[in-house]
Structure 1
Amino acid sequence: MNQPPRADWRFLLASPWNFLAMGCGSGLSPVAPGTAGSLFGWATWLLLQGVLPGWAWPPLLLAGFAGGVWICERAARALGLHDPAPLVWDEVVAMWLVLWAAQWGLNALTGGHGLLPWPLQLAGFALFRLFDAVKPGPVGWADRKLSGGLGIMLDDIVAAVLSLLGLAVGLLAWTFIDMWLHGIRVPT
């Protein structure tokens, strides 16, 4: 009987699609491959920030998502599993979305053009990992109800959107607390 391959270095290097689906090897982490893939996503976002103009991010995110549906479907089928832990391209693209959207939103609000501050990057990472691991509400629904590459990719995108909402609520609360501590009244 022919068994499906294992998600190991041989599988990783068997095709460029497996290499991408496994986050360039980050998905082979023996401990918390999803976290390793998210860290790889964060690191590549930092590298790409210095290279890509702002207008290039939306097409990159769309291509990363659409391509991810295909490569994750292909790799999961080859492994004979629904959503194998070593496939972390979904975490990579979701982290790109969290960090890019948070930076874009902050720059739009403040008129700034700098890199997203480290505490906000860390908060985005932590919120994404929380929502991806716990899979509350719509994240869990997408994980349970959608199959194939679309299901693999979409639950992480939903977790990214929840992370962005969490960042927005946190920043709003921080702003109001700061205003209250400094005796600044909210304009009515």
Structure 2
Amino acid sequence: MNQTPDQEVKPGFKWMIQTATRTLAFGFGSGLSPVAPGTAGTLWAWAAFLLGEYLFTTEDFFWIIGGGILLGCWICGHVSEELGKKDFGGIVWDEMVAFWLVLIFVMPTSIWMQIIAFILFRFFDAVKPGPIGMIDRHFKNIDSGNAPSTLLQILWRGFGIIVDDLAAAFFTLLIFAAIQAITQQLGWVL
């Protein structure tokens, strides 16, 4: 249901744990961070990935990430519909699956290279340079009006929330590959 301005939802822990979609969308609470919820969500995703390495194979991770992206379109779209906001900052599922995508391609690597991947991803996700910003603006400019959204509109909104983070992951991986090539060429060990 779309919220009107006088019905604005103030998400908190009690609100978040009422449904699985809210809990996932808010990164098990990391999206409730009063400061930089996207960064908090990405840090949580990093920790979850490192723990998951002991439990899952690479193939399992690809299934989790792929399913997380597809399911995330509904999760992010549905929760943003509940909040009445197109891309609420506390919805961090998009950062989580996108950063898992980065990690699945860069791991195993040293902690320093993981930190570089984290910084690059946060830069591209927060600053949204070039095509990432164009994608983000495109989806934020789509107006669904005040009527309740259809399932297709909810999925499309969720896709819009996730796709700019996937673009940030793509550019992170490009720059990361260049950094790895340069450090190997120079004989540096990071």
Is TM (by shorter chain) over 0.5? yes
Q: 1:62 aligns with which of 60, 63, 66?
A: 66
- Determine the structure 2 residue equivalent to 1:172: 181
Q: Deviations over 1:6-35 (max 9, x none)?
A: 121232112110000000000000110000
5+ residue gaps, structure 2 = 141-156
- Determine the structure 1 residue equivalent to 2:138: 145
Deviation of residue 54 (structure 1)?
A: 1.5
- Determine the structure 2 residue equivalent to 1:76: 80
Superposition pairs for residues 43-58 of structure 1, below 5 Å?
43-58=47-62
Correspondence 1:32 to 2:36: yes
Superposition pairs for residues 1-188 of structure 1, below 5 Å?
3-103=7-107, 115-146=108-139, 148-178=157-187
Q: Take 1:45 and 1:15, find their aligned partners in 2: how far apart are those partners? A: 23
Number of residue equivalences: 168
- Runs of 4+ aligned structure 1 residues displaced above 2 Å come to none
RMSD: 1.4
Q: Which has the larger radius of gyration?
A: 1
Q: Take 1:7 and 1:84, find their aligned partners in 2: how far apart are those partners? A: 10
Deviation of residue 4 (structure 1)?
A: 3.1
Tell me the amino acid that sits aligned with residue 172 of structure 2.
S
5+ residue gaps, structure 1 = 104-114, 180-188
Q: Which has the higher contact order (CA 8 A, sep 6+)?
A: 2
Q: Take 1:58 and 1:13, find their aligned partners in 2: how far apart are those partners? A: 27
Deviation of residue 157 (structure 1)?
A: 0.7
- Determine the structure 2 residue equivalent to 1:111: none
